Amino acid sequence: MNKKYINPLLHPAKAGFTLIELLVVVLIIGILSAVALPQYQLSVEKSRLAEVYTVVHKIEQNLTMIELSDAKFASNEEAAEAWLEDVGLPLEEGGVSGLKYAASKHFCYNPSMFGLIIMPKPCTDIDTAEYVMGFMPKSATSERAFMCQGKSDFGKKLCKSLCGAEECSLPW
């Protein structure tokens, strides 16, 4: 019983953490990351949606100009190109509506018969997208509206954080 107390500050070779202490720290970090990572991903996606607002605003300006000029289009393709004109995004073939669509780094803007279908990339199939958003411009029979439909768990959380439900329609 002649053990002497060894001060860890004076003898660093004897200092250190026990295995239990290290496991507790790893467990705490794991719990924090499990809680924080999904919230971080949701925040990043919501910040990307600021781009959608800007592009939809430009498209809405194009629609106003088309309406004021009383333009007539020979085909849906011509109308789609007029919608997406001057948006600043390249037009690509093969959108979900069969018409040309504008593509940015994160989103596809597909003109359709009822409005604009907005979905995250890849733009190949509307059924496999995590979420789909829509913009209906003002018409003679309806006010302009924004729609969000979550398809995956992440998409449902995103729509719920935007408008309070997994599927929603809001006035713009």
Model's pTM, two decimal places?
0.68
Per-residue pLDDT of the chain (172 residues; tens, 9 = 90+): 566 766 666 666 666 788 998 999 999 999 888 888 888 888 888 888 888 888 888 888 877 777 777 777 656 677 777 777 777 787 777 777 777 788 888 888 888 777 788 888 887 778 888 888 888 877 666 777 888 888 888 888 888 888 888 887 776 6
Q: Are 120 and 129 in contact (CB under 8 A)?
A: yes
Q: What is the C-alpha to C-alpha distance for residues 23 and 37, in angstroms, rounded to an integer?
A: 21
pLDDT value of residue 12: 61
Residue 16 is predicted with a pLDDT of: 77
- Annotate 47-58 with three-state secondary structure: HHHHHHHHHHHH
Among candidates 78, 88, 37, 98, which has minimal Cα distance to 58?
Answer: 88
Provide the pLDDT for residue 92: 79
Q: Do 158 and 45 form a contact (C-beta atoms < 8 A)?
A: yes
d(CA 40, CA 47): 11
89: Cα within 13 Å, side-chain hemisphere: 25
Terminal-to-terminal C-alpha distance of the chain: 80
Q: What is the DSSP letter of 169?
A: E
At residue 75, the pLDDT reads 63
Q: What is the distance between the alpha carbons of residues 69 and 161, in angstroms, rounded to a whole number?
A: 38
